[in-house]
A and B are shown apart, each in its own frame.
Chain A
Amino acid sequence: MATSATGHLPPSPMKRRTFLDRLLGLGLVSTTLAVVYPLWRYLNPPASGEAATTSAVAGRVTDLAPNSGQIFKFGNRPALVLRTPDGEFRAFNAVCTHLDCTVQYKADTSQIWCACHNGIYDLGGNVVSGPPPRPLEPYHVNLRGEPGQEEIVVTRA
């Protein structure tokens, strides 16, 4: 093997190959990880469980006193869950049938009210007065879980 002026041997071809091989190996491993990592995360189901289009949890029974109501998200629409003065749970699509404003529960009259143009619905979702042309779409309500602490599960009729 030829020696250079300083007397050092040129780097052995064996070493160069191994370096390249190491580099290649590192690259292959890291790219494989970069592919496997998202796949692994994908396979783990997300917190929301499933595409919530037909059912949603509106809270716990302890959140709603009788003669009160609250708005929650149902799919991509607002929905209203209310508790009648007698303690019964009901839920409706909270989009007013007049001009799409969000309705609310009015405790002093125990009715559902739309602030925009004073549309009033009764606790069955039927129009009592004002401009709304159609009743509110009702949803099914079920309770699920430990007695006294149940979740309110609202599903599309």
Chain B
Amino acid sequence: MLTERVINWLDERIDLTGIRHFIAEKTVPVHAHKVWYYMGGMTLFLLIVQVVTGILLLLYYRPSAEEAYESVQFIVSQVQFGWLIRNVHSWSANLLILVAFVHMFSTFFMRAYRKPREITWISGVLLLFLMMTFGFSGYLLPWNELAFFATKVGTGIAGAVPFVGDFLVRFLRGGDDVTGATLTRFYGLHVAVLPMVMTGLLMIHLLLVQRQGMSVPLGVERAVRNGQPLKQMPFFPNYVLRDVLAWYVGLALLAALALFYPWELGTKADAFAPVPAGIRPEWYFLAMFQALKLLPAHILGFEGEMLGVLGFSAAAGLLLFVPFLDRRASEGKANRLLTVAGVLAVVYLVVFTIYGYVAA
């Protein structure tokens, strides 16, 4: 077959033995919780979709305040299948963040971050934050009213950080207010800076997963230690085919969403128009936003918003360094406190996101 001939041709020039061996020997554990293994691959698939559709979009998009909105309108109405590309990009972005959260929480509850996978966890959490930054910067690019004001509010919250707050706001906005300068800056972030950082982190993350193989839940690890054999499935072709199946389902879902629930264009941003009622960020920031809104203006003499921002930063820090906080996991024991904390976090996120929607 053609593929075999190509592989042989390459093998004669760059020794593919290592890769061939790796593919032939790599296995994936089989147990009750193996469904969560697909979350990482799904995230990767959606990321690839984002990169491809993103590159296609930037062939027609114009990152200036005068032309951005019109260029998106042009893509959606004039460019052939532009509506498909743009809507897939918008939907895939949201699904990507959702699946990334699921992937993060599933690895958390299964304690996959324990030794030797601490770096995988840290790179993963950083990737999650990066995805959310991608979402925040990309949201502004169509330069519509909702995005403009959501960005104004969002970048304004950065001002609550003590000492460097004002600098942060100016740095993010490219000035004192959200203007065309902000748009250009966010565009540069979205298509150049963030992808570069993401590539690095992703390489580390994937390489480590390949080198270290899949982690198993603590219960399964204990069973293995007690002598029970662990079933394994060959990575290629068994696991790969399943992964590809999931990806195809994802593709079908994206296409259907793009057609039946197209993303709105909105009205062009006008800096002097009054803030529309019920302005709020995208759903993945909503829980945080809603919590900040509920905080009283002053708590014990400190600004409520500042304490809120610091609180969330502290939570992010805890999340990042959880492998070093959970000593028991490396010993094979479940840390009840962390499980409870994780469950509470999920509950908080779900409840406050819904609350944020309902409150508007």
A/B touching: CB–CB < 8 A: yes
A-B contact pairs, 20 of them (CB 8 A): A35-B251, A38-B81, A38-B84, A39-B52, A39-B85, A41-B80, A41-B81, A42-B79, A42-B82, A42-B85, A43-B56, A43-B59, A44-B80, A50-B74, A51-B60, A51-B62, A51-B71, A51-B73, A51-B78, A54-B66
Contact of B248 with A by CB under 8 A: yes
Contacts of B78 in A (CB 8 A): 46, 48, 51
Instruction: Determine which of B56, B70, B74 lies in contact with A39 in the assembled complex, contact meaning CB atoms within 8 Å.
Output: B56
Residues of A near B11 (CB, < 8 A) are none
Taken residue by residue from 128 to 161, chain B's Cβ proximity to chain A (1 for < 8 Å, 0 otherwise) reads as: 0000000000000000000000000000000000
Check B67–A53 contact: CB distance below 8 A.
Answer: yes
**How far is it, in angstroms, between the C-alpha of A44 and the C-alpha of B62 when the chains are bound?**
17
Contact of A42 among B62, B80, B248, B251 (CB under 8 A): B80
Q: Bound complex: CA of A46 vs CA of B52, how far in Å?
A: 20
| Separation of A53 and B52 alpha carbons in the complex (Å) | 27
A31, A35, A42 pick with most chain B CB within 10 angstroms: A42
CB distance from A14 to the nearest CB of B (A): 16
Number of interface residues of B (CB under 8 A): 20
Docked complex Cα distance between A75 and B52 (Å): 30
Interface size, chain A (Cβ < 8 Å)? 16
* Known interface pairs A50-B74, A51-B62; 10 further A-B residue pairs with C-beta atoms within 8 A, sorted by A's residue number: A35-B251, A39-B52, A41-B80, A42-B85, A44-B80, A46-B79, A48-B74, A54-B66, A54-B67, A75-B70
Q: Specify which chain B residues have a CB less than 8 angstroms from the CB of A39 in the assembled complex.
A: 52, 56, 81, 85
Q: Which residues of B contact A45 (CB under 8 A)?
A: 79
Cα A101 to Cα B68 in complex, Å, equals 28
CA distance A42 to B60 in the complex (A): 10
- Within 8 Å CB of A43, what residues of B? 56, 59
* 253-308 of chain B: CB within 8 A of chain A: none
In the complex, which residue of chain B has the Cβ closest to the Cβ of A39? Answer: B56
Q: In the assembled complex, which residues on chain A have CB atoms less than 8 Å from the CB atom of B85?
A: 38-39, 42
In the complex, the chain A residue whose C-beta lies closest to that of B68 is A51
Chain A residues whose CB sits within 8 angstroms of the CB of B70 once the complex forms: 51, 53, 75
Nearest first, the 8 closest Cβ-Cβ pairs linking A and B are A51-B74, A38-B81, A41-B80, A53-B70, A51-B70, A46-B78, A42-B81, A51-B71
Expressed in whole angstroms, the minimum distance between the Cβ of A132 and any Cβ of chain B is 23
**In the assembled complex, how far is the CB of residue B339 from the closest CB belonging to chain A, in whole angstroms?**
41
A50 to B75, CA, bound (A): 9
